[in-house]
Structures are given as C-alpha cells and as structure tokens.
C-alpha cells in the first residue's frame, strides 16, 4: 500500500525549484526556468534558486578563500604540489584581486580588462603555463594570433579564467578531491549499481564545500519558505550535491516535500529499487516533469490518490520502492509555457573563456537564454542514442508562432537577446519557419543550436538562418567513416556533411562537430581514416570546432538492446538497485581506444587552433600506425 501524504494545501504551497551544483557558471541551466514558468501558468506559487552559482561565488568570497588558505596551511609543505605552493605564496594577491575579477567576468567592470592583460595584476599559477605553447619564434605576443591588437576584453577573460582555474585546483587538492567548477563528485553517481558509495559520502563528516552548501541551502529555505522543493539533476556531477541539499532540508524541516527529477534520473534511475533514496527524497519522477508534477500537486492537495500518480517512484508502507504510473497524456510542447528566469541572479553569472576557439567558447562565454524548439528527436534512429527513452522518442514540436512569442517574452524579461537552442536536433523545417517568423516580426536576436547535418540544410537555407540571427551550429559527425555512419544509422555520409557544413560556414555561421571514437567494430585503420576526414574538414573551412568523446554503450540504446547486430557482446551487469545506464561490452576488434583517444584529442586541439593541418595524421599516433586510406583531396572534391 502506498502511503497517502497529508493534504498540505489549505494555503497553496510554494514550490521551490533548485539547480544543484555543479552545472554551468555562465548561464542558468534551463530546467528550473521551464518548470517555474509552467507552474506559474498553472497558478502555482513557484520560485527558483541556482545553488550551483551561489556555491562557487561563496567559495571565491573573502571568507571562502581564507578557508581554502587555512586548508592548504594544514598540509605539510613537503606534501604540497606546485599549484598549492603557488596559491599559498600568492594568497594575498588572490584575496586582493578576486572580487574585482569576478565583477569583470560578470560584466560589471569592463575597464579592468586593461589591468588584467598587463600580466601584472593577477597572480599567475601553473595554469598560466599553457600560454607558453603559443609563444612565437620571435618571442612576440603569445596570443596575438587569437585576439589581435584590439581583443582586450577577450584576452582578459581568458587570463581571468586561468586565474580561477588555479584557485579551483587549490580547492580540489586541499579541500575536496571531488571538486570541479562544472561537476562535483561525479564518480559517486555515474552508473553506480548500488547506493552505497553515495550513502557513505553523505554519512561522512561534511567538507568545507559541504558546509558551504548546507549554509546556502538553509538560507534559501529561510528566504522562500517552500513546502515543496524540486531538485532537477541533469548530470552525474550534480547528484551528490542534490542529495546533500535534500539531506539539509530534511534535517531543517522533515515536513518539506522533496522531489528528485531531471536528465540523470530519466536515464540512470529507471530501475530504482533502493529505499534509502527516500530518506532524502519523498518522490522521484521520470521524464518530462510537467504532468507528474501536476499529478503530485493534486495528490498532496488531497484531490488524487497515490495510486494515480504519474511516472513517480515512492517508498510504500512496507518500506519498498514502488513505481506508480497512472497513464495520462503529457502536456503538449506548445502548452508547456514560456520559461522564466525571474528570481535568478542574471547579473552574477561568470562569462568565462577557457578555450580560445571562437566556436568552442560559446558553451562557457556569455549568458544565453536557453530555448527548445521541439521535445525529443525527429530522427530517433542513431544506434548510440537512448532512442527508447521519452526524451528522444516522443517528438513534439512547437509552432514558429509559439517559439517567437516565447523569444519576445524572454527578451522583455531578461533584456538579453542571445539564445541557445538546446534541442537534441532541431528540425530543418522548424528552423526555417522559426527564422521566417523572426524576420516577419523584425525580431533581432543571436542564436545557435544543435542539428543533424542532413541535406535539407541547403546553402539557401543556411543563408536564411544566418539572416535571422544564427551565429553557430553544432551537429554530430560521430565516427567520420561511411561504413560506421551506416552501421550507427546516422543517416548522413562524410561527403554530405562536408557540403552541409561548408554551406553554414560560407553563410558566416560557425560549425562545431561532435565526434566519436570506440564505436563497435571500429579499427585502428578506421580511426586514422576518421582523423584524416576531420583534418580535411578543418583545412577546407567546413568546421571550426569539434570534440571527440568515447563511445559509451547504454542499456537504452540500440547497441545496448541488440548488441549482436553490432558485433559485440555485453558484459553482465551486477545486481542494480540504484543507477543503471552504462554497460560494458567486448568488441572482438580489440583496438586500444584509450591510447587512440589521447592522439585524437591532441590532434583536434591543435586543429582548432589552426596548427598541424598540413601534417600527416599518423604523426599524432606514434609508431606503426597505418597510412590513411582516404584520398588526400576527398573533401575538396566533395565540395566540387
């Protein structure tokens, strides 16, 4: 029997949606903005907090820096790596410059750039050694190629980012080895079959970071006085902090209802059977959150029984985990409402410049309004993708009229006209209609997003998108091999990708390629050939940026569901009560993808900086690497 929660809505309950650490620092993760906008449209008193940003700013405050210094001082000098020694020796300069540097990165003090680029204002730790790779033969300006004579603001942001990374290294080495600016304790949650690692970490004495997060959580609860708290967890690196937040809430007031959802839950917790999760969370919901939340609010108000919850895990009276899914239609994407950033500190996000590449930097530089053209993927065939899950399989597009209505409402609210379309793959038909509607209304924005490199993106459409404000596009080339692209059902070929990407580039739109290695049956020869295709695409100006990621087999993908079709054998999974997503496999080809991946990423890093584009790709791999079978001018001929 599922326990029925007492009704709590004689006064409508306030719902607080929280972004837990760690996610982006340059812009809010969009889940709480969508949920808050939707709930307000339903008449719910809804508010939101970004504790990821708040935690970083707290750690970088005067008190936070002193606490890190004290932690460094507690370590014997002979145990301190160079980065900690550097931080300790230069601490007074870090303390004196941090507030001003954060103000610069938040856009509040642009004139500070001139002092930062002088190389005499900021303390410089080991991260600044990366600049040495750019020093030219004449000993001239090491970054002149990237920023030119007028790029003072960009140059200063890059130096300030290196400065913050030096501090992050000190935090990780002296305070908590799990710390990263964009992820925290990721290994505690990533495909962990049992809850034990998380339970042990949560039971351990809190670290300095944990204590800061507890204090910030308590302040948020005091400020908003919510009766329901939603924690949206997009990645494994945000799971530990979400549980710490819930732990703090329950210790403060156990009657506050806590709810866990988000991308991590939707992919990894679909086999949840661990009762201890419910010591922290009262409910765990799957997939698009709007319908489950409406059902849950009805239940808490006494208008719906627990047996009529939607896609929701609970712990029943017997102490066992029970999944309840009273089938109701999802909210149409046209009807989910306009996301709102009201309540988030838009003037405090940090515009970082870690990667000098002009396309790659978009992920961390600038505060982009996140917007979705369609729920799900219109293609939903790729064999490496979670095509069996709702976030891919249920395709539902909003009309161009609705999208531009949302754009105008968001610009009016935020005063900012940059948009990142966060679709799995925005459909060409929808983007054409979106561009036309923007121009019909004379709405001026800048936007970028993810697509498939399919032939529908003609040069003419690329120009239409550019005229509407499109500045950049990312898309999956994956393994640049026609054999493997066909095996993974990508629906594109290398020569087609070349023509499509060149169309975007010729229209003045930057292009980023998602690349993959380690796909089933991929050989060393396939890998060398793929890098040769990539080299030629960079050399021809088709793509300006890229990222190689290692193929991971998930239980929800076609490879995980039908491994025999891809020539691999899955390794048996241990008994799962918590996270279930990644699954190991045996590939009879047996290539050393770990070593190959190092070479691929080194080559790609250089290509993005215009280095090594004329060299034989074998130079990146070391000895006894086969010669590429790809004709030297394949891409050039494909472009005709």
Question: Token pair for residue 184?
Answer: 């925290």
- Taking Cα atoms as reference points, which of 488, 487, 593, 603 lies closest to residue 536? 603
Checking phi first, is residue 228 left (phi over 0); if not, alpha (psi -120 to 50) or beta? beta
Do the Cβ atoms of 368 and 351 come closer than 8 Å? no
Backbone angles phi, psi at 49, to 5 degrees: -140, 140
Backbone angles phi, psi at 425, to 5 degrees: -165, 110
- How far is 123 from 163, CA to CA, in rounded Å? 7
- How far is 565 from 48, CA to CA, in rounded Å? 45
- How far is 34 from 410, CA to CA, in rounded Å? 12
- How far is 289 from 280, CA to CA, in rounded Å? 19
- How far is 104 from 112, CA to CA, in rounded Å? 6
SS3 49: strand
Q: Sign of the CA dihedral 397, 400, 406, 407? A: positive
- How far is 453 from 499, CA to CA, in rounded Å? 9
Residue 564: predicted pLDDT: 96
Q: Sign of the CA dihedral 301, 306, 311, 316? A: positive
Reported pTM: 0.93
Checking phi first, is residue 552 left (phi over 0); if not, alpha (psi -120 to 50) or beta? beta
Residue 588: predicted pLDDT: 93
User: Could you report how far apart the first and last alpha carbons of the chain are, in Å?
Assistant: 68
Question: Token pair for residue 69?
Answer: 């210094």
Q: How far is CA 30 from CA 18, 587, 617, in A?
A: 11, 38, 40
Do the Cβ atoms of 280 and 246 come closer than 8 Å? yes
DSSP letter string, 486-542? HHTT----HHHHHHHHHHHHHTT-EEEEEEEE--TT--HHHHHHHHHHHHHHHHTTS
Q: Residue 575: count other Cβ atoms within 10 Å of its Cβ.
A: 7
Question: Token pair for residue 371?
Answer: 């917007």
- How far is 467 from 439, CA to CA, in rounded Å? 8
514 pairs with which residues across the strands?
Answer: 476, 547
Mean pLDDT for back-to-back runs of 10 residues, the chain (640 residues): 47 89 94 97 97 97 97 92 95 98 97 95 94 57 58 92 97 94 82 94 96 98 98 95 98 97 96 98 97 97 96 97 97 95 96 86 93 95 95 95 98 97 95 98 98 96 98 95 95 96 98 96 97 97 95 96 96 95 94 95 93 95 91 94
14-52+188-334 has which CATH code?
3.40.50.280
- How far is 339 from 293, CA to CA, in rounded Å? 16
- Taking Cα atoms as reference points, which of 591, 510, 610, 498 lies closest to residue 550? 591
Distance from the Cα of residue 207 to its chain's centroid: 25
Furthest C-alpha separation in the chain? 77
- How far is 232 from 53, CA to CA, in rounded Å? 15
- How far is 190 from 169, CA to CA, in rounded Å? 22
Residue 79: predicted pLDDT: 87
- Residue pointed to by tokens 């909003």: 398
355-639 placed in CATH 3.20.20 = yes
Beta strand 321-324 pairing with 312-315: antiparallel
Calculate the CA dihedral of residues 389, 50, 332, 306 and round it to 10 degrees. 70
- How far is 565 from 69, CA to CA, in rounded Å? 55
Same topology, domains 14-52+188-334 and 355-639? Answer is: no
Residue 189: predicted pLDDT: 81
Strand runs labelled E in 51-181: none
SS3 602: helix
DSSP letter string, 421-456? E--SS--HHHHHHHHHHHHHTT---EEEEEE---TT
- Taking Cα atoms as reference points, which of 400, 471, 398 lies closest to residue 438? 400
DSSP letter string, 607-633? HHTT-STTS-GGGGT-SSPPPP-S-TT
Host H or E run for residue 92: helix 91-105
Q: How far is CA 204 from CA 200, 210, 244, in A?
A: 6, 10, 11
DSSP letter string, 181-196? SS-BSGGGTTT-SSSH
Domain boundaries, the chain: 14-52+188-334, 57-174, 355-639
Q: Please state at what angle helix 91-105 crosses helix 62-73, rounded to 10 degrees.
A: 150
- How far is 540 from 640, CA to CA, in rounded Å? 12
DSSP letter string, 175-244? T-TTB-SS-BSGGGTTT-SSSHHHHHHHHSPP-HHHHHHHHHHHHHHHHH--SEEEEE--SGGGHHHHHH
Question: Token pair for residue 119?
Answer: 């190389």
Residue 568: predicted pLDDT: 96
Do the Cβ atoms of 450 and 477 come closer than 8 Å? no
């Amino acid at each position: 029997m599922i326990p029925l929660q007492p009704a709590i809505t004689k006064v409508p309950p306030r719902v607080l949606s929280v972004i837990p650490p760690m996610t982006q620092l340059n812009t809010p993760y969009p889940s709480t903005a969508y949920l808050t906008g939707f709930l307000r449209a339903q008449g719910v008193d809804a508010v939101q907090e970004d504790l990821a940003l708040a935690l970083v700013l707290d750690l970088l405050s005067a008190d936070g820096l002193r606490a890190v210094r004290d932690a460094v001082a507690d370590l014997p000098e002979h145990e301190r790596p160079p980065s900690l020694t550097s931080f300790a020796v230069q601490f007074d300069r870090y303390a004196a410059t941090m507030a001003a540097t954060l103000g610069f990165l938040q856009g509040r003090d642009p004139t500070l750039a001139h002092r930062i680029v002088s190389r005499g204002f900021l303390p410089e730790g080991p991260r600044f050694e990366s600049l040495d790779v750019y020093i030219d033969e004449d000993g001239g300006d090491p970054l002149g190629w990237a920023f030119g004579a007028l790029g003072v603001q960009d140059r200063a942001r890059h130096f300030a980012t290196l400065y913050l990374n030096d501090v992050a290294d000190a935090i990780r080495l002296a305070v908590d080895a799990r710390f990263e600016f964009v992820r925290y304790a990721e290994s505690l949650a990533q495909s962990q079959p049992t809850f034990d690692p998380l339970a042990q970490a949560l039971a351990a004495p809190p670290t300095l970071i944990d204590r800061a997060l507890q204090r910030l959580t308590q302040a948020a609860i005091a400020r908003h006085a919510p009766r329901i708290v939603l924690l949206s967890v997009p990645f494994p690196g945000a799971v530990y902090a979400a549980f710490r937040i819930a732990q703090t809430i329950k210790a403060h007031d156990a009657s506050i209802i806590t709810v866990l959802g988000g991308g991590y839950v939707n992919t990894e917790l679909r086999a949840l059977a661990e009762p201890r999760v419910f010591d922290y969370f009262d409910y765990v919901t799957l997939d698009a959150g709007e319908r489950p939340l409406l059902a849950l609010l009805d239940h808490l108000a006494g208008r719906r029984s627990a047996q009529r919850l939607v896609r929701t895990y609970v712990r029943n009276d017997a102490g066992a985990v029970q999944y309840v899914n009273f089938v109701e239609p999802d909210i149409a994407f046209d009807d989910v409402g306009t996301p709102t950033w009201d309540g988030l500190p838009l003037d405090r996000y940090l515009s970082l410049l870690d990667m000098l590449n002009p396309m790659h930097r978009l992920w961390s530089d600038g505060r982009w309004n996140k917007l979705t053209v369609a729920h799900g993927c219109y293609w939903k065939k790729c064999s490496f993708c979670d095509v069996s899950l709702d976030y891919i399989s249920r395709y539902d597009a909003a009309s161009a009229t609705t999208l531009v209505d949302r754009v105008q409402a968001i610009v009016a609210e935020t005063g900012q006209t940059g948009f990142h379309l966060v679709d799995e793959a925005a459909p060409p038909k929808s983007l054409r209609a979106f561009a036309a509607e923007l121009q019909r209304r004379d709405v001026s924005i800048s936007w970028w997003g993810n697509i498939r490199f399919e032939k529908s993106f003609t040069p003419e459409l690329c120009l239409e998108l550019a005229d509407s404000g499109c500045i950049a596009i990312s898309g999956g080339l994956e393994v640049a091999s026609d054999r493997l692209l066909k095996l993974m059902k990508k629906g594109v070929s290398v020569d087609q990708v070349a023509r499509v990407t060149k169309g975007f580039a010729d229209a003045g739109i930057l292009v980023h390629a998602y690349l993959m290695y380690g796909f089933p049956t991929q050989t060393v020869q396939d890998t060398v050939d793929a890098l040769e295709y990539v080299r030629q695409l960079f050399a021809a100006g088709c793509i300006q940026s890229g990222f190689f990621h290692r193929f991971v087999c998930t239980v929800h993908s076609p490879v995980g569901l039908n491994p025999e079709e891809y020539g691999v054998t899955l390794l048996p999974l241990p008994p799962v009560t918590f996270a279930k997503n990644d699954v190991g496999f045996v590939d009879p080809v047996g290539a050393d993808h770990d070593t190959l991946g190092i070479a691929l990423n080194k080559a790609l890093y250089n290509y993005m900086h215009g280095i090594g584009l004329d060299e034989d790709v074998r130079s990146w791999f070391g000895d006894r690497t086969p010669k590429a079978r790809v004709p030297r001018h394949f891409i050039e001929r494909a472009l005709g």
